[in-house]
């Protein structure tokens, strides 16, 4: 059988890949519903209504994955990041998520996530640069 590799737009290819994965799992006897992905975001606003922090995440199959978290440098250490993560956790609990997962880098905030109650699952060394590490974290709800 001949084939070729071609770049395709995500919105065109992703449904076909998901369908293939679901078909495979069903052949193995697993009954997994179609994706129930929901994208969420929360912003921290100062008294003038300016965004001083934000977090984005996605729920899917009971997992809540935090993709981005940023706090304005002038507000770091003030509790804004913790408040945003607490809001994510509230959302996860209210929407029956099993756990929250995320990744971060050694030059970012692994200590912060430990303070938020996350457990380190593992690390990749020398990524994204030599001497740095990528961390994987989880918090079960």
List pLDDT tens digits, range 22-48: 889 889 988 766 667 899 999 999 999
pLDDT digits (tens, 9 = 90+) for 48-82: 999 999 999 999 989 999 999 999 999 999 999 99
pLDDT at 61: 87
pTM: 0.82
What's the burial of 135, exposed, middle or buried (CB within 10 Å: 0-12/13-18/19+)?
buried
> Which of 7-21, 29-43, 72-86, 99-113 has the lowest average pLDDT?
29-43
Number of H helices, E strands in the chain: 3, 6
């Amino acid at each position: 059988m001949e084939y070729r590799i071609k770049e395709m737009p995500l919105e065109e290819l992703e449904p076909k890949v998901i369908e293939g994965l679901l078909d495979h799992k069903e052949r193995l006897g697993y009954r997994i519903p179609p994706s129930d992905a929901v994208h969420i975001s929360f912003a921290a606003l100062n008294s003038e209504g300016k965004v001083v922090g934000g977090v984005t995440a996605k729920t899917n199959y009971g997992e809540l994955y935090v993709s981005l978290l940023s706090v304005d440098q002038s507000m770091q250490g003030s509790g804004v990041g913790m408040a945003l993560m607490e809001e994510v956790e509230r959302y996860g609990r209210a929407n029956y998520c099993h756990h929250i997962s995320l990744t971060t880098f050694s030059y970012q905030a692994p200590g912060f996530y430990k303070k938020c109650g996350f457990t380190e699952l593992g690390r990749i060394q020398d990524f994204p640069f030599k001497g740095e590490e990528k961390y994987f974290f989880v918090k079960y709800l």
